[in-house]
């Protein structure tokens, strides 16, 4: 084979390999960046949703401790948030949201609490449904690699 052909083929081979390497590097970099953006967006969406749910639970918790009767209109927003949680959350988080809702409804339906009873409830872990929900959310973030 002529020396000129070998040089030309070597140059073409080097160009092709260099071009493919550059393309693959850019493609991998773009995919990693897109994945990181999706993860960041998902973290923000879930944090906003879960935080809003916990905020509503806290408000309802305070009302349930002092109210004489249940105001069903107060439950609308928290039920809507729970529905959104059911759509996107893992089963442990969704279950914790359901338990928190049931706890609040039971609290509303129960007798009005005295300040001493409220203080005693603070010491009982079974009464901390908002904390249980937060724990399940944190576990979900860890399991999904979001935290």
| pLDDT computed for residue 48 by the predictor | 94
Domain count, the chain: 1
- Indicate whether 19 belongs to any domain: no
- Indicate whether 116 belongs to any domain: yes
- Indicate whether 97 belongs to any domain: yes
> Please, is 81 exposed, middle or buried when counting C-beta atoms within 10 Å of its C-beta (0-12, 13-18, 19+)?
buried
Closest-CA residue to 58 (of 134, 142, 137):
134
| pLDDT computed for residue 50 by the predictor | 95
- Indicate whether 10 belongs to any domain: no
In which domain, by residue range, is 94 found? 43-143
78 contacts 101 by C-beta, under 8 angstroms: yes
- Indicate whether 68 belongs to any domain: yes
| pLDDT computed for residue 123 by the predictor | 77
Instruction: Kindly provide the b/e burial profile for residues 113-144, where b requires at least 16 CB atoms within 10 angstroms of the residue's own CB.
Output: eeeeeeeeeeeeeebbbbebbbebbeebbeee
- Indicate whether 30 belongs to any domain: no
* pLDDT of the chain, 147 residues: tens digit per residue: 578 778 888 888 888 888 888 888 888 889 889 988 888 888 889 999 999 999 999 888 888 887 777 778 888 899 999 999 999 999 999 999 999 999 888 888 877 777 787 777 777 766 688 889 999 999 998 887 765
Residue 131: CA atoms inside 13 Å, Cβ hemisphere, count? 7
- Indicate whether 107 belongs to any domain: yes
- Indicate whether 28 belongs to any domain: no
């Amino acid at each position: 084979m002529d020396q000129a052909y070998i040089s030309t083929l070597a140059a073409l081979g080097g160009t092709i390999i260099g071009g493919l390497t550059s393309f693959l590097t850019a493609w991998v970099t773009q995919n990693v960046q897109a994945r990181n953006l999706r993860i960041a967006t998902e973290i923000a969406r879930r944090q906003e949703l879960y935080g809003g749910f916990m905020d509503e639970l806290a408000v309802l918790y305070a009302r349930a401790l002092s109210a004489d009767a249940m105001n069903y209109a107060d439950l609308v927003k928290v039920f809507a948030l729970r529905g959104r949680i059911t759509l996107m959350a893992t089963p442990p988080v969704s279950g914790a949201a359901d338990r928190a809702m049931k706890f609040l409804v039971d609290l509303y339906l129960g007798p009005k609490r005295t300040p001493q009873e409220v203080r005693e409830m603070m010491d009982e872990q079974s009464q901390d449904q908002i904390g249980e929900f937060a724990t399940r959310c944190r576990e979900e973030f860890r399991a999904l690699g979001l935290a």
